Amino acid sequence: MHPTNYDRWVRLATRDRPAKDVPPEHRWRLVTGRRGAERVAVRLRGIVPLPSEPVRPAHRAVCLSPDAGAAPPT
């Protein structure tokens, strides 16, 4: 789980992949936060990365489990 730049949390894959292999709605980037020590997930909207550029896919885009997008049990 990674914090986002809009005070939410998102599950991301463990490795980057080329942008051409990730659907646009599932493209994220991890950037260094304001404090320098934390990494913040930023969704790539409004820009189109080059096909070979690394992006971090959302977990639900790469997980084979049908429950990947479900909320964790409480």
9 burial type by CB count under 10 A (0-12 exposed, 13-18 middle, 19+ buried): exposed
Q: Tell me the pLDDT band of 51, cut-offs 50, 70 and 90.
A: very high
Q: What is the pLDDT of residue 34?
A: 72
Q: Where are the domains of the chain?
A: 2-62
Take residue 67 and report the two structure tokens written for it: 């429950």
Q: What is the pLDDT of residue 71?
A: 57
pLDDT in tens, 14-33: 999 999 999 999 999 999 87
Q: What is the pTM of this model?
A: 0.76
Q: Residue 62: what residue type?
A: V
Q: What is the pLDDT of residue 47?
A: 84
Take residue 55 and report the two structure tokens written for it: 């992006």
Q: Supply the mean pLDDT for the chain.
A: 85
